[in-house]
Amino acid sequence: MAKAKTVYSCNLCGAMSPKWQGQCPGCAEWNTLVEVVADRPAASGHRFESLAPTARPQILAEIEARETARIPTGIAEFDRALGGGLVPGGVVLIGGDPGIGKSTLLLQALAQLSGSCSVLYISGEESGEQVALRARRLSLDTQSLRLMAEINLERILATLQAERPLVAVIDSIQTLWSDQLSSAPGSVAQVRECSAQLTRLAKQLGITVILVGHVTKEGALAGPRVLEHIVDTVLYFEGDTHSSFRLVRAVKNRFGAVNELGVFAMTDRGLKGVNNPSALFLSQHGQEVAGSCVMVTQEGTRPLLVEVQALVDTAHGNPRRLTVGLDAQRLAMLLAVLHRHAGLVCFDQDVFVNAVGGVRISEPAADLPVILSISSSLKNKPLPSKLIVFGEVGLAGEIRPAPRGQERLKEAAKLGFTRALIPEANAPKQPIPGMEVMAVRRVEEAVSRLREWS
């Protein structure tokens, strides 16, 4: 028997190479090529001359576009991350670390949906008995929830065509395999083919398909990058497995806002939505402490209050710069701005900055809170109580406005904050009841004007 021919395929982009290389020839990433069995060519090729068009081009203005009603899952925080609920015919990809709660959340959502519509849970990793035990442990009503333990793509497609469920969950896409390919389950070719076939069927039949994806040790979704381009929505499950809180973040959504955030708490009865997530990211200090500053960050359409903590201490050796939940490169830039324009020197100090609660802050509006928390720790002087801060800082020391400034201020006022230090361009035109607002233009002005409230 002839030995099967093998090639090397990139785990990230799917590029092929006849021999192993340290660097992928397609995406230039290192150590991503793995050996796979080459797919057998088709028995007969197709010539372009023999292909007839199966669909005629249409004028875009003549196409009737109708708004489709979304399908609420019954879990408010999950619906928020999805942009308002599931879209008929949409394909959702959700990834996260092992054991973080992906299967639990989807099982809860299907149990809620099964009372009003037809759903199907396809498990490729667990047997029916294992899924039933989890449902019993979570005290879910599964009288109308249908389950199928299968990993063969052709059987799954046939079942979806016959049953026509409104929502189907595939747990997980890396376990599926198609008998049309000779490569192993989880390979780049199998993942790409299985996801493409499921997406095509979802669009044709109007079935909402939710795919569960594995992640790599770096936290990115495993498999070819094309997997994220095929689907309509990509959700990431975030959070420390040692903590009870979980975050579901939308990093791609064709039907809603990107970076929308859903916050959950893991309990013995499954995942429960958190109504006031700002309380998770604020520490409860018995008294005012130096190095602590509260900011209002914007996660999708939701303003969240997050506490930024800084610790500045004398360095013993080379000064260290460490951030948790914030950009380390941006911290170096902010320290240079603080030195140049506010006269605060930290070149001989260790600087540690942390966003409380395990949340990751990527927007530039965190610049001013970081600078003020560092200044507070360096001087060992607490910032005024009930103060919120936000604003982007430029290299020239100017403070730029943050988007949706009015919504941030209203959210802070609703939670009992009475003072705000914000960019001048974000100053409200009408006074906000119960809140004193100080608008500033430059970093040195922000640092000096805080003394008026001290």
Rounded CA-CA distance 334/399 in Å is 12
Are residues 285 and 174 located together in one domain of the fold? no
Q: Residue 238: its pLDDT value, please? A: 84
CA dihedral angle for residue 12, residue 17, residue 22, residue 24, rounded to 10 degrees:
-40
For residue 375 the two structure tokens come to 């200044």
Per the domain annotation, does 341 fall within a domain?
Answer: yes
- 290 and 235 share one domain: no
Q: Classify 389 as helix, strand or coil.
A: strand
Give CA–CA dist 73/89, Å, rounded: 15
Q: Which of 275, 297, 325 is the last residue of a domain?
A: 275
What distance in Å separates the CA atoms of residue 138 and residue 141, rounded to the nearest whole number?
9
322 and 353 housed in the same domain:
yes
Contact assessment for residue 76 and residue 264, using Cβ atoms and an 8 Å cutoff: no
What per-residue confidence (pLDDT) applies to 42?
47
Q: By C-alpha distance, which of 413, 410, 370 is closest to 392?
A: 370
Whether 60 maps to a domain, the answer reads no
Residue 62 lies in a domain: no
Which of 275, 305, 327 is the C-terminal boundary of a domain?
275
What residues contact residue 41 under an 8 Å CB cut-off, 6+ apart? none
Q: Per residue of the chain (454 residues), what is the pLDDT tens digit? A: 455 577 888 877 778 888 888 898 888 888 888 777 665 554 444 444 555 556 688 898 888 877 788 999 999 999 999 999 999 999 999 998 888 899 999 999 999 999 999 999 999 999 999 999 999 999 999 999 999 999 999 999 999 999 999 999 999 899 999 988 877 888 888 888 899 999 999 999 999 999 999 887 666 666 667 788 899 999 998 877 677 888 898 999 998 888 888 989 988 889 999 888 887 777 766 678 899 999 999 887 788 899 999 999 988 889 999 999 899 999 999 999 999 999 988 888 999 999 987 778 889 999 999 999 999 999 999 999 899 999 999 999 999 999 989 999 998 998 889 999 999 999 998 888 889 999 999 999 998 887 776 5
Residues 223, 109 share a domain: yes
The reply to whether 437 and 300 lie within a common domain is: yes
CB 227 within 8 A of CB 188: no
| Cα separation, 329 vs 323, whole angstroms | 9
Provide the domain limits for residue 256: 71-275
Helix axis angle, 188-205 relative to 153-163, nearest 10°? 10
CATH number (domain holding residue 248): 3.40.50.300
DSSP 340-379: HHH----TTEEEEEEEGGG----SGGGHHHHHHHHHHHHH
φ, ψ of residue 190 in degrees (nearest 5) = -65, -45
Q: Are residues 197 and 336 in the same domain?
A: no
Contact indicator for 310, 373 with CB cutoff of 8 Å: yes
Query: Phi, psi (5° rounding) for residue 129?
Result: -65, -40
344 burial class (0-12, 13-18, 19+ CB within 10 angstroms)?
buried
Examine the domain organization and report whether 199 and 318 are in the same domain: no
Same domain assignment for residues 6 and 28: yes
What is the number of structural domains in the chain? 3
Q: What does R_g of the chain's alpha carbons equal in angstroms? A: 26
CB neighbourhood size of 233 (10 A): 24
* 44 in any annotated domain: no
| Domain identity same for 250 and 347 | no
CATH of residue 445: 3.30.230.10
- Start-to-end CA span in the chain (Å): 84
Q: Is residue 58 part of a domain?
A: no
Q: What separation in angstroms does the CA of 265 have from each of 77, 107, 162, 243?
A: 11, 16, 37, 9
Q: Name residue, tokens 């109308």.
A: 144
If asked whether residues 239 and 315 sit together in one domain, one would say no
- Kindly give, in sequence order, each residue whose CB lies less than 8 Å from that of residue 101, ignoring residues fewer than 6 positions away: 237, 246, 264, 266, 271
Compute how many other C-beta atoms are within 10 angstroms of the C-beta atom of residue 84: 15
Q: Beta-strand (E) ranges in 229-341? A: 233-238, 245-253, 261-267, 270-273, 292-299, 302-314, 321-324
What is the structure's pLDDT at 260? 87
Q: Which amino acid makes up residue 380? A: N
Distances, alpha carbon 99 to alpha carbons 105, 214, 215, 276, in Å: 11, 11, 12, 25
CB 417 within 8 A of CB 453: no
Grouping H, G, I as helix, E, B as strand and the rest as coil, residue 315 is coil
Beta bridge partners of 246: 264
pTM given for the model:
0.76
Q: Which of 240, 275, 310 is the last residue of a domain?
A: 275
- Residue 48: inside a domain, yes or no? no
Q: What are phi and psi of 169, to 5 degrees?
A: -110, 130
Same domain as 304, residue 199: no
Strand locations in 130-182 (E): 146-149, 167-171
Instruction: Mark whether 259 and 313 lie in a shared domain.
Output: no
Q: Residue 57: inside a domain, yes or no?
A: no
**Residue 83: phi, psi to the nearest 5?**
90, 20
User: Is position 172 within any domain?
Assistant: yes
